[in-house]
Structure 1
Amino acid sequence: MGERVKKRDVPEVLRKLLNADVHLTKIFIRYMERCMPFEQVKVHYKMLEVSCHGVFWIASWLAFVWVLNSSNLYQMQVNFIIGLLLDIVLVAVIKAITRRRRPAVNDDPLAMGPDKFSFPSGHASRSMFVVYFFFNLWPVSWIFRLPMLAWLVSVCASRILLFRHYLLDILAGVCLGILEGLFIGLIYLDQETCVSLISWISDEKVEGGEYHV
C-alpha cells in the first residue's frame, strides 16, 4: 500500500477561527429553527438553492440573450455573463485551494469537483454579484430593488440552514461578489464591442456591430 496522504497542518490561529465559525453557525441554525419550523419551509430553501445555481444562471442567461436578440441589451447581457463566468472560475479555484469540508454531505446532483467544498459560498458570491450589477452597473427601477435584496438575504440564509455552508463561507462569498462587481465595473465593455462579440459568436451580422452591412 502506498503511503497515506499527510493531513494538512492548519495554523493554530486559523484552526481557532474555523472552530469559532462552526460554533457560531450552530448557534445561528438553532436560533433560526426556533423562529420558524424548518421542515415546513425546507422546500423554499431548495427553491432558493436552484434559483442561484451556476448552471441555471448560465443556461437561462444564454437563452435570454438568444430569445430577446436585442442589440440594445447586448452591452448589459455580455458584461453580466462575463461576471457570471468569472464568479464560477474564482469560486472553483478558491474551493480547490482551501478544500474546506461542508457541514453536511452535499446531495446536489450537479455538484462536482471543487463544488463539493464549502469555502467560499458560490451562491452567496453569485447572488451578491447579481444585486451589485443591477444596483450599480445597470441600475434597475427601485421597484425591483427590495425584492432583489430579499432574495440575496434569503439565498445566503438558506445556504446555512440547508447545512451547505458556515457563516464564514457566506461572508467570504458576499465579499467576493462585491469584488467581482467592482472588477466588471472597471473593465465594462462598450456597446460596439459587445455587439461585435455577439455577432462573432452567433456568426450573424448584428445591426450596430462593426461588421454589419
Structure 2
Amino acid sequence: MPGTQTRSRPRDRNNVLNRPEFMSLNQPVRRETSAGEGRAGAARRTATRRPSQQDDAAARGSRDSSEGATSGDAVPKDGSRWPEQDCMQLNPSFRGIAINSLLAIDISLSRRLGVCVGARGPGAPLRPMVALLAFSGHALPWLCGTLLCLWRSNSLAGQEVLVNLLLALLLDLMTVAGVQKLVQRRGPWDAPPGFLDRVALDVYSFPAAHASRAVMVSRFLLNHLVLAVPLRILLYLWAFLVGVSRVLLGKHHLSDVGCGFALGFLHFSLVESVWLDSAACQALLAIGSLHWAPLV
C-alpha cells in the first residue's frame, strides 16, 4: 500500500492538469449546472408569479411593432433607429447634400455679415445709420404716409395712384406675414423681434418683409412717377440697401432677402394686373369715408 502511494505521487506531479494554469479544468461542472438550474427556477418562479405583466408587455410589444410596420419612417420609442434609416442617412441623395450645403453656406455668410448686431461689434459705429435705413423700409411709415397723402390729395389721378399703392402695401404686408407664419424660420442670430416688428407682423425671418416692400414700392414709383435718371438710380439703390441693412442687423439671412426681392416683384406685377381705375378708387374712398349715396 505505501508503495502504491509513493508511485502515485510522481504520477500526480507529472500530470499536466495539476499545474496552476490548468486548475480550472479540474473544477466540477455541478456548480454551473446548479447555478443554471437556480436561474431557470427563478425565471420559472417569476414567470408564474407575474403572468399578467408579461401578457401586458407582449401586447404592448405587438402593438408597437404593428404601429412601426404601418408607419414606414417611424422611430422606435427607445430612441434607436432602424438599420434602413441609418443606411439612408449614410447615403443621402445628391439633392439633399446640395440643399444642406447651400443652407450651411447661407447661415455662415449671414452670421459673418451681421456686423451691426451688438453694440460692441465691428460695425457698431454704423449701427444707427443702418437702423435708420432699415426703418425706411418699414410698413408703418409707408402706410401712414400713403394715408396722409390720400387725405390731402384733391386730384383724381393722384387719388387713383395712392389708393392702388395702399392696396399694394396691404397685400405685401398680409402675404409676407402669412408666409412667415407658415415657414417660421428664425434669423441667423435668433434675436427676438422688436416692438415695431411685431406691429408690422414681421416676427420671423423668411421672407424679408423690408426687402419685399422696398422693391415693390420702388417699382411702383418708377412706373407711375416721372423721375430723372439719378432719382431712378437712387430708388434702385435704396431698395437694395434696405435689404442689405437687414442682413447687417442680423435680422435676416441672405436667402431671406433674395426671396423678399422676388416676392416684391411678384406683388408689383399682381397690382399692375388688377389695377383699379378712377371710378373704383372713388367708390372705395366713398365707402371708407362713409359718404356714399343711398341706394335707390
Specify the TM-score bucket, using the shorter chain as the normaliser: 0.7 to 0.9
Match of 1:88 in 2: 173
Match of 2:211 in 1: 124
Q: Which runs of 4+ in 1 moved over 6 A?
A: none
Of 123, 134, 144, the residue aligned with 2:221 is 134
Q: TM-score when scaled to structure 1?
A: 0.80
Question: What's the offset of the Cα at 1:132?
Answer: 1.1
Question: What's the offset of the Cα at 1:116?
Answer: 2.0
Length, aligned pairs only: 190
Question: What's the offset of the Cα at 1:146?
Answer: 1.9
Question: What's the offset of the Cα at 1:107?
Answer: 4.7
Match of 2:104 in 1: 19
* Cα distance in 2, alignment partners of residues 95 and 69 from structure 1: 38
**SS at structure 1 position matched to 2:207:** coil
Question: What's the offset of the Cα at 1:29?
Answer: 5.0
Contact 2:114/2:249, CA 8 A, preserved across alignment: no
* Cα distance in 2, alignment partners of residues 86 and 139 from structure 1: 21
Match of 2:194 in 1: 108
Match of 1:175 in 2: 262
Contact 1:98/1:119, CA 8 A, preserved across alignment: yes
Q: TM-score when scaled to structure 2?
A: 0.59
Question: What's the offset of the Cα at 1:28?
Answer: 4.4
Q: Which has the higher contact order (CA 8 A, sep 6+)?
A: 1
* Cα distance in 1, alignment partners of residues 137 and 264 from structure 2: 13
Question: What's the offset of the Cα at 1:71?
Answer: 2.4
Q: What are structure 2's unaligned runs of at least 5 residues? A: 1-94, 116-121
Contact 1:122/1:173, CA 8 A, preserved across alignment: yes
Contact 1:118/1:164, CA 8 A, preserved across alignment: yes
Contact 2:111/2:188, CA 8 A, preserved across alignment: no
Computing the radius of gyration over CA atoms, which structure comes out larger, 1 or 2? 2
* Aligned partner letter, 1:53: H
1:149 aligns with 2:239: no
**SS at structure 1 position matched to 2:196:** coil
RMSD: 2.3
* Cα distance in 1, alignment partners of residues 226 and 290 from structure 2: 31
* Cα distance in 2, alignment partners of residues 15 and 97 from structure 1: 20
